[in-house]
Structure 1
């Protein structure tokens, strides 16, 4: 697909919620920028921080947990320590036992997206590791940032 055929990159206005993440010295790679794998950590950190704050995730004692089953990321601009990241979060789809989050990574105070992607959580019973319906409190937190 050519750049002309590609959908436009998301903007800050496309995300209803933001979480701030500080980059660390160890996030940089030998090329002097945040390594690509760290962006997935930013995604996970931002979403899980929101879900814990909203009461939709008890990762220590909850009987139901969300496991990542799919991820993807597109990179547009580099970040480097000591940049501060503002991660925009939205929910694109909620199913019976799964949710698709979309996350935009922005350098603090800047409008242009540095990277954006998605990941899918499937909710499972912690003991059996089998899919279960998304708990109501988690679903309510997801609905609060759902778009589309």
Structure 2
């Protein structure tokens, strides 16, 4: 049995969000620094939710708080690469959702990075867990 993970393909994702690398994303080694990937993931998830719900999700009574993130780096990306961030669901629970994300450089069919992003929905005032709002759940079910 191989210890290598299967290759993640662009075709595995129904939703691809465009993202442009920025000059400041590069580090001293000439490639995008690891911290920038988390910004791409956050922007892709929240951009999708706002577009799919036609609402400003920051104004809902329940908000998604990031509880966990991870990223596996496969191939370098750099400025000025145009990226596409693939977005799909690993699990949709009552008050949380786990996203699988992938970074695709240009027209590449194989991912440059694979990520995981967990949102837990909490009451905007008390910060206590609550069910995922129906408008958000509806958008998530399309993934």
TM range (shorter): over 0.9
Aligned partner of residue 113 in structure 1, secondary structure: coil
**Conserved 8 A contact 1:70-1:119:** yes
Structure 2: runs of 5 or more not aligned: none
**Conserved 8 A contact 2:49-2:57:** no
TM-score scaled by length of structure 2: 0.95
**Conserved 8 A contact 2:11-2:109:** no
Give the direction of change, closer, same or farther, for the CA distance of 1:137–1:98 in structure 2 (3 Å limit).
Answer: same
Report deviation, 1:94.
0.6
Give the Cα separation in 2 of the matches to 1:141 and 1:73.
Answer: 24
Aligned partner of residue 79 in structure 1, secondary structure: coil
Q: Specify the alignment match of 1:53 in structure 2.
A: 51
Give the direction of change, closer, same or farther, for the CA distance of 1:47–1:57 in structure 2 (3 Å limit).
Answer: farther
Number of equivalences = 143
* Cα shift readout 1:96-135 (whole Å, capped 9, x = no counterpart): 1000001000002111210011110000001000000001
Task: Report runs of 4+ in structure 1 exceeding 6 Å deviation.
Answer: none
Root mean square deviation of aligned Cα: 1.4
Give the Cα separation in 2 of the matches to 1:141 and 1:121.
Answer: 14
Q: Specify the alignment match of 1:16 in structure 2.
A: 14
Structure 1: runs of 5 or more not aligned: none
